[in-house]
Amino acid sequence: MRLHILYSTILIFFCLIFPLFSERIYFKNGDVLTVRIIRLNRDYALVTSPLGDYRIPREHIKKIENTEKYTMQVKLKTGKTLVLQFLDADMSRIRFILREQIMSYSWEEIEDSVFLEL
């Protein structure tokens, strides 16, 4: 009986937690981490996971895949601020969606970007 309650609790925990972590970060060393990204900028990705919040230096990131199209406030180095949906990223560029159109910026062009739906 106790084992059944434990398994049920674990199942409920994972059903509640995993939808919150929709980004998969692929590292240059081959590791993969499923997290929720809080912030992206030209230096790092700030992420949250069940184990806490972490800054991942950009130079360690090979690519980022996203399963949800969360809205971000993106501030460019030019001073322009946009509200876009995050699509994905690789070692050189971050891609967003604005009204069905894909927009791509280099990491260096992004001053800061913050997810609005946390």
73 neighbors 86 (Cβ within 8 angstroms): no
- In this prediction, residues 34-51 reach a mean pLDDT of 88
35-44: string of b/e by CB count within 10 Å (b at 16+)? bbbebbbbeb
- Percentage of residues of the chain with pLDDT beyond 70: 81
Assess whether pLDDT exceeds 50 at residue 18. no
Q: State the Cα–Cα distance between residues 104 and 58, nearest whole angstrom.
A: 17
With a threshold of 0.85, does the pTM exceed it?
A: no
Domains and CATH numbers, the chain: 22-115 (2.30.30)
> In this structure, which amino acid lies at residue 42?
R
DSSP 66-87: ESS--EEEEEETTS-EEEEEEE
Residue 17's pLDDT band, with cuts at 50, 70 and 90, is very low
Q: State the Cα–Cα distance between residues 59 and 1, nearest whole angstrom.
A: 49
